[in-house]
């Protein structure tokens, strides 16, 4: 009798839980030059609202859209910046300083010379790069005003900022579970509706396969990799992450860097900067100046190194199952 009672309680609980389980809603759209995928549990209307938010941010932050605030800033040297463009400019300049210029938003004249924003790819000659590098120095940006010839590009941080703003919107609407993938910038809100952690895939930079899964809650997972955008000329591959020191695509020995933490803008800035810095300099910065962020480094040779906070939540997959994973420790 007691057993039957317990069974009835369980069944009741099960029915209540399943009938109350929030419904899954998804959307996919193209914005900020990439495919964006949203999944939320509960609150279907939030998807359209999120897409509108993303498009509004793109209109402020895009470096190529002639209507954007950043386009006007680059053209005129000063502009009436919207709230997000102004706030992200300030934040990005702090992050340029934190990374000692490995992230440098004034690298844009060089990025443009390689054709990475227009798609008209070319290899600039040494003289051209030397002349353009004269314009690259984020410390020259004062009061959100640019000296003659200096141009900024928020492309290395804009998607991270957007993910933070979208997560803020979701929270303000009472969403407690959702996942967004803004073209390599993932943000996992809360946990899955069943109470388990989100499992986010880290891509193998050498194939379309997944290198590992990381289990997260309320975190951004942001990857920068040479494979994301590149062209080839005379058998040489040139990718889109520029070393502000040389004006050429960064050749730091890394094929990809993934950064995981609560602040999507910080993670986006760091994934780009770490890629430029290489494993050794990035580890040093991580040990000395960063807390609350973790990273996965994949070298050109396919070696994988993780920071110690990921131990236990990082699960190698496919070709990486039996590969030795090195760990960077603070001590
Ligand atoms: P991400 O995909 O976040 O690593 O950002 C790469 C994009 O940021 C490039 O497509 C460029 O528009 C821009 N960029 C490239 N190199 C740098 C750099 N060293 N600092 C800041 N922005 C950069
Ligand atoms: Mg970035």
pLDDT tens by residue, the chain, 331 residues: 455 555 555 455 554 445 567 899 999 999 999 999 999 999 889 999 999 999 999 999 999 999 999 999 999 999 999 999 999 999 999 999 999 999 999 999 999 999 998 889 999 999 999 999 999 999 999 999 999 999 999 999 999 999 999 999 999 999 999 999 999 899 999 999 999 999 999 999 999 999 999 999 999 999 999 888 999 999 999 999 999 999 999 999 999 999 999 999 999 999 999 999 999 999 999 999 999 999 999 999 999 999 999 999 999 999 999 999 999 999 7
Greatest alpha-carbon pair distance for the chain in Å reads 89
Ligand lying nearest the CA atom of residue 220: 2
Place of tokens 């190698």: 316
Q: Are 266 and 95 in contact (CB under 8 A)?
A: yes
Q: In what order do the strands lie in the sheet with 185-190?
A: 24-31, 34-41, 177-182, 185-190, 219-225, 254-261, 293-299, 304-307, 325-328
What is the SS3 assignment for 320?
helix
- The closest residue, in CA terms, to atom 11 on ligand 1 is 155
The strand pair at 236-239 and 254-261 is best described as: unpaired
DSSP label of 138: G
Please give the pLDDT value at position 1: 47
Ion ligand 2 — residues with CB under 5 Å? 156, 268, 271-272
The torsion of the CA quartet 157, 158, 160, 166, rounded to 10 degrees, works out to: 160
| Atom from ligand 1 closest to the CA of residue 159 | 3
CA–centroid distance, 145 to ligand 2, in Å, is: 23
CA–centroid distance, 156 to ligand 2, in Å, is: 4
Ligand 1 neighbours, Cβ below 6 Å, are: 103-105, 107, 111, 116, 153, 155-156, 224, 228, 240-242, 244, 268, 271-272, 276
For a mutational test of ligand 1's pocket, the pick from 34, 105, 106, 107, i.e. the residue with the most ligand atoms closer than 8 A to its C-beta, is 107
Tokens (6 digits) for 146:
């640019």
Using only the alpha carbons of the chain, give its radius of gyration.
Answer: 22
| Atom from ligand 1 closest to the CA of residue 244 | 19
């Amino acid at each position: 009798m007691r057993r039957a009672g317990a069974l009835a309680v369980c069944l009741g609980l099960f029915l209540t839980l399943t009938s109350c389980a929030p419904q899954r809603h998804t959307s996919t759209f193209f914005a900020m030059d990439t495919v964006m995928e949203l999944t939320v549990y509960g609150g279907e209307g939030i998807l359209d609202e999120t897409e509108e938010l993303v498009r509004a941010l793109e209109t402020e932050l895009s470096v190529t859209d002639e209507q954007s605030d950043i386009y006007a800033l680059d053209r005129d040297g000063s502009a009436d910046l919207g709230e997000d463009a102004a706030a992200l400019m300030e934040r990005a300049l702090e992050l340029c300083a934190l990374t000692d210029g490995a992230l440098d938003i004034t690298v844009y004249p060089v990025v443009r010379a390689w054709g990475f924003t227009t798609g008209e790819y070319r290899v600039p000659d040494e003289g051209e790069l030397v002349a353009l590098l004269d314009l690259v120095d984020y410390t020259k940006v004062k009061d959100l005003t640019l000296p003659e010839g200096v141009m900024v590009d928020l492309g290395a941080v804009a998607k991270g900022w957007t993910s933070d703003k979208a997560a803020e919107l979701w929270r303000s609407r009472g969403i407690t579970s959702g996942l967004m993938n803004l073209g390599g910038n993932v943000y996992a809100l809360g946990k899955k509706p069943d109470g388990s952690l989100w499992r986010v895939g880290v891509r193998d930079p050498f194939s379309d396969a997944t290198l590992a899964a990381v289990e997260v809650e309320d975190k951004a997972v942001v990857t920068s990799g040479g494979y994301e955008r590149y062209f080839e000329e005379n058998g040489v591959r040139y990718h889109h992450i520029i070393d502000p020191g040389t004006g050429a695509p960064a050749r730091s020995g890394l094929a990809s860097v993934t950064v995981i933490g609560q602040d999507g803008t910080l993670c986006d800035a760091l994934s780009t900067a770490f890629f430029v810095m290489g494993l050794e300099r990035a580890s040093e910065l991580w040990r000395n100046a960063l807390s609350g962020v973790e990273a996965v480094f994949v070298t050109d040779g396919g070696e994988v190194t993780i920071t110690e906070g990921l131990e236990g939540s990082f699960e190698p997959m496919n070709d990486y199952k039996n590969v030795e994973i090195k760990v960077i420790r603070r001590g």
